[in-house]
Structure 1
Amino acid sequence: MNRRGRLVLGVLGAAVVGVLLWEGYKAVGDPDGTVLFGTRVLPRTDDAAMPHVWTILSRFGEPELAGGHPIWLVVLQACLFTLRSVAIGFVAGGLVGLLLAVLMQRLRVVERGLLPYVILSQTVPLIALAPVIAGWGGRLSIGTYPWQPWMSVTVIAMYLAFFPVAVGMLRGLQSPAPIAEELMRSYAAGWWQTLVKLRLPASTPYLFPALRLAAAAAVVGAVVGEISMGTRGGVGRLVIEYSREATTDPAKVFTAMIGAAALGLAVAGVVGLSEFLVGRRRVRA
């Protein structure tokens, strides 16, 4: 079985295991949840908290509201709206991370001074950061085009996406063996030639895992940003709106959550496909 077949089989197997765990716990778990020392450590298993998997899946084919569009279409449109922020934030964050990695590799003093702050930046809670970015964005404009709420969501997605690329690429750029660097110096290769011909190719095994993490982080940032700032149209806002109906229509809440998870898998899948194509090209070369 080739790599693609193993990947498909692994994804299907993980989905089956997840469904079995969900339904298995629902079958044997306490409807009021498992309580240990007065604290609920496992969730309730009643239909209001844990609907059956087939109930959730069947809800996708039903109208969101009476006489409205089917809920799968509403979730799909919301995911496509969020995808814009994810894509722009992912690309911008990747470029910022790459530039920071190159700068830190080039100047050791920059690495020592900047890397701690790059790591520290990821400890800031998004719930606290989102209103600040939204406030700043409200005072900005791009020429005559006013700042839009989705742009603030894009900034949050970029903020989370740049970190794994910066750290991963820094490690990749520093990965060539000393003997390889000495060989480039013996050829009188400058810093730029060494970067292009040695360091960037050597960093490829580190780049794509970092990009997969950045893609997932961009989705999380976009969804959390939409939830925190109340941006309408995206899947994050859909999660909030559907959560208000959790008591009367619990399966509806999970449709938005599945949509957000599917968006993350789709973006990570695009990165994985790019890695596969680049790998094939390198093998042919």
Structure 2
Amino acid sequence: MKPDTLKDKVVPVVSILCMLVVIWYIAAVLMNASFQRDMNARANQTPGTVEFIEQTLSQPKPLLPAPHQVAQNVFENTFLRKLSSNRSLVYHSGVTLSSTVLGFSFGTLLGILIAVGIVHIKALDRSLMPWIITSQTIPILAIAPMVIVVLGAINITGLIPKALISTYLSFFPVTVGMVKGLRSPEVMFLDLMRTYNASAAQTFWKLRVPASVPYLFTSMKVAIAASLVGAIVGELPTGAVAGIGSKLLAGSYYSQTIDIWAALVAGSVLAALLIAVVGLVAKIVDKSMGGRPA
């Protein structure tokens, strides 16, 4: 990558990030100010402006924690805790990661199979595709408890219910992406395959599949993020004792807003890493297929 290109990509991102941090600090002062005034009034204190701002940014249970409070919490619970500790964000992220990867794998496989059927069977295209689109209009928060309860009634608990919720969210983008990819070859190339007397299987493997690979990996980036959301949501109705969802629940029960934001940061970092892994695999596959490096 050329230095100018790197600069053009990094500077805008860093600038926006700095702006968001400044806005976050201002919002934290404004939202925590009312509670801090009440505390100062009860203690008969009249701090100056600077001291008052420092107080709003250092509350143990703030309405909106300051960025440095969240960063300190993330650092302590990531690097200063044992991996087996119940307070370790790495431990909780690992629990959520397991159901995310399993659900993503199921969703990707299911999405590819449905896409292949839709492309090759017109009846499925007309009947199944509208239902697939409609299924995504149902809020996942409404579906998750039903999945947990139904599977729990037949003694299926733990990883599988959360993975199925992840599957529900992740199969849709893969299905849509693969349908678009499998249909992407131009008519001219399809006619050329017919001229060569290629069978349907040869056309599929030698033309449609290679053409669909870029679409597949693009949709997989969306699917892996959706799968993570599904895994976290799946942990909420179960009262899970481990996972990012359990950290969110515990934080809400005990009004530990700093822990809640730290868990959200951990989820965001985990999502970014998963998307990066999918992107890396996409580059490797593209290179193995003879694609030119970007």
1:183 to 185, 188, 192: 192
Cα distance in 1, alignment partners of residues 274 and 114 from structure 2: 23
What is the root-mean-square deviation of aligned Cα atoms in Å?
A: 2.9
Give the helix-richer structure, 1 or 2.
2
| Deviation of the 1:189 alpha carbon | 1.2
Task: Return the match for 1:202 from 177, 198, 211.
Answer: 211
Counterpart contact for 2:81–2:87, Cα < 8 Å: no
Identity %: 30
Deviation of residue 30 (structure 1)?
Answer: 7.0
Decide which of 142, 155, 176 is 2:164's aligned counterpart.
155
Matched, 1:104 2:113: no
Alignment gaps of 5+ in structure 2: 33-55
Matched ranges for 1:43-62 at <5 A = 47=57, 48-62=62-76
Distance 1:277 1:83, change over 3 A: same
Distance across 1 between alignment mates of 2:209 and 2:252: 46
Determine the structure 2 residue equivalent to 1:168. 177
How do 1:99-138 and structure 2 match up within 5 A?
99-138=113-152
8 Å CA contact 2:181–2:216 kept in 1: the answer is: yes
Find the counterpart in structure 1 of residue 232 from structure 2: 223
TM-score normalized by the length of structure 1: 0.82
Q: Which residue of 2 aligns with 1:41?
A: none
Partners of 1:228 and 1:271 lie apart in 2 by 29
Tell me the alpha carbon deviations over residues 25-75 of structure 1, each in whole angstroms, 9 at most, x when there is no partner.
Answer: 533787149xxxxxxxxxxxx5413322222111234469xx985989611
Q: CA separation in 2, counterparts of 1:72 and 1:89?
A: 24
1:252 equivalent in alignment to 2:251: no
Q: 1:19 to 1:60 in 2, by over 3 A?
A: same
**Equivalent residues of 1:82, 1:234 under 8 A apart:** yes
SS at match of 1:203: helix
User: Are positions 1:77 and 2:86 aligned together?
Assistant: no
Provide the rounded CA distance (Å) in 2 between the counterparts of 1:72 and 1:149.
Answer: 17
Please say if residues 23 and 53 of structure 1, whose CA atoms lie closer than 8 Å, have aligned partners that are also in contact: no
Alignment partner, residue 22 of structure 2: 23
Tell me the amino acid that sits aligned with residue 190 of structure 1. S
Q: Say if 1:53 and 1:13 are closer, same or farther in 2 by CA, change over 3 A.
A: farther
Tell me the CA shift for residue 245 of structure 1: 3.5
Q: How far apart are the structure 2 equivalents of 1:74 and 1:194?
A: 51
Tell me how many residue pairs correspond in the alignment. 262
User: Relative to 1, partners in 2 of residues 1:177 and 1:233: Cα closer, same or farther, differing over 3 Å?
Assistant: same
Structure 1 distance, partners of 2:74, 2:200, is: 55
* Structure 1, unpaired ranges of 5+: 34-45, 141-145
Task: Provide the C-alpha distance between the structure 1 equivalents of 2:86 and 2:22, rounded to a whole number of angstroms.
Answer: 23
2: CA distance between counterparts of 1:151 and 1:176? 37
**Structure 1: which amino acid aligns with 2:149?**
G
Correspondence for 1:239: 248
Q: 1:132, 1:119 → 2: CA distance? A: 20
Instruction: Give the counterpart letter for 1:200 in structure 2.
Output: V
- Asked whether the 8 Å contact 1:130–1:229 carries over to 2, the reply is no
> Could you say what secondary structure the match of 1:184 adopts?
helix
Cα distance in 2, alignment partners of residues 172 and 63 from structure 1? 43
Assess, with a 3 A threshold, how the Cα gap between structure 1 residues 19 and 244 changes in structure 2: closer, same or farther.
Answer: farther
Alignment match, 1:263: 270
Q: Which has the larger radius of gyration?
A: 2
What is the rounded CA distance, in whole Å, between the counterparts of 2:225 and 2:206 in structure 1? Answer: 30
What corresponds to 1:211 in structure 2? 220
Match of 2:289 among 277, 282, 285: 282
Please report how far the alpha carbon of residue 14 of structure 1 lies from its aligned counterpart in structure 2 after TM superposition.
3.3
